[in-house]
Amino acid sequence: MLEKLKNLETAAAEEIFKITDLASLEQMRIKYLGRKGLLSQILKTISSLPKEEKPKIGKVANDCKVKIERLWKERFDQFKETLDQEKDKTLDLTLPGFPIFVGHKHPITQVLEETYQIFAGLGFEIADGPEIEEDFFNFEALNIPKDHPARDMHDTFYITEEILLRTHTSPVQIRTMKSHPPPIRIIAPGKVYRRDADITHTPMFHQVEGLLVDTETSFSDLKGILTVFVHQMFDPETKLRFRPSFFPFTEPSAEVDISCVLCHGTGCRLCSDTGWIEILGAGMVHPKVFESVEYDPQKNIGLAFGMGIERIALLKYGIGDIRLFFENDLRFLSQF
Ligand code: DAH
């Protein structure tokens, strides 16, 4: 028995050092140390030995097991080390990495931020108001009473008779004046809602409202401010035209056209051969509006304007369909 164990140990040691791959090493482990392996077979016969010999043989058998296991482990570690080294060799740190997709701001956000920049340069601060608005702020205080025909233009989403989704950013004028004394110099950007949908209208779109109130200001200031805005947002050569118009909350009122961004005024399909494109509404604050916020119409003069941001973006980037801004098609968005 002792001899058998000694031979097993020698055979295992010789075999181990001839092994050149991990798979054979595993087979060798099963052959010698496995449950039905050579060592187990010898150990099974121990029970049939005379009682006095059992402990001695048992100890030798155990030593033999420990030695084979140690040899096996050493060989295994050697393999592992070479494997790790090979792996290092195949890791080429100079290879280019996988491309990372970097997103960017939505074109509407870009135009909004450019608008803030321009007006910040003219001393305007940003004001805010709710999208779910009261009839009073959206209409009544802006000199648009319940029976006023101007209400038809707004295609309002009503929530209740008195609560609605704001149809324009002009109610922020009222909220700002109600909570702040003059002078005021704000722009109010935000989402507005109208029941309207086609290639130039979406039920939600963005506007930027402007309001300046002081003891001395005039229509020429309005012209100057809007000219600076247009020249910075578009080409500095762009011409402006102030066309008489009507808004209940301004008097006088104007619609502002710019020379066509496509044909520069000679006439094309975009401008319906007029050479001009309308971009915003503006005017001098109506005394009735001052009365509704308890500002003295004798002491205060105000100028106001409001523009649609999608419209500005369409013209700036030459886009034909406003709905593209809201479809989240990356082939479109990634162009900006
Ligand atoms: N609120 C108007 C609209 O949505 C736009 C507008 C026109 C705003 C004239 C103004 C203004 O502040 O003075 O059609």
pLDDT digit string, tens, across residues 130-188 = 999 999 999 999 999 999 988 877 899 999 999 999 999 999 999 999 999 999 999 99
Mean pLDDT of the chain: 92
Give how many domains the chain has, as a whole number. 2
180 CA → ligand 1 middle, Å: 21
**Whole-angstrom Cα distance, residue 285 to residue 302?**
5
Does 84 share its domain with 112? no
Give the DSSP letter of residue 182.
S
Q: Does residue 200 belong to any structural domain of this protein? A: yes
Q: Model confidence over 82-100: pLDDT tens digits?
A: 888 887 788 888 889 888 8
201 CA → ligand 1 middle, Å: 16
Does 67 share its domain with 119? no
Does 130 share its domain with 73? no
Does 69 share its domain with 143? no
- Dihedral, 197, 200, 205, 206 alpha carbons, nearest 10: -160
Does 143 share its domain with 260? yes
Give me the pLDDT at residue 303, please.
98
Does 293 share its domain with 152? yes
Does 212 share its domain with 70? no
Does 12 share its domain with 116? no
Q: Does residue 101 belong to any structural domain of this protein? A: no
With vertex at residue 199, the alpha carbon angle to CA 229 and CA 263, rounded to the nearest 5 degrees, is 50
Does 221 share its domain with 120? yes
Q: Which residue has the higher pLDDT, 264 or 51?
A: 264
Tell whether ligand 1 has an atom less than 6 A from the beta carbon of residue 289: no
Domain that holds residue 191: 108-333
Tell whether ligand 1 has an atom less than 6 A from the beta carbon of residue 250: yes
Does 139 share its domain with 238? yes
187 CA → ligand 1 middle, Å: 12
| 234 burial type by CB count under 10 A (0-12 exposed, 13-18 middle, 19+ buried) | middle
Q: Which of 59, 1, 61, 2 is closest to 32 using CA atoms?
A: 61
Give me the pLDDT at residue 48, please.
83
293 CA → ligand 1 middle, Å: 18
Helix (H) or strand (E) holding 179: helix 171-179
Total-model pTM: 0.73
* Cis, bond preceding 287 (omega within 30 deg of 0): no
pLDDT beyond 90 at 43: no
**CATH number for position 266:** 3.30.930.10
CB atoms within 10 A of CB 202: 17
Confidence of residue 332 (pLDDT cuts 50, 70, 90): very high
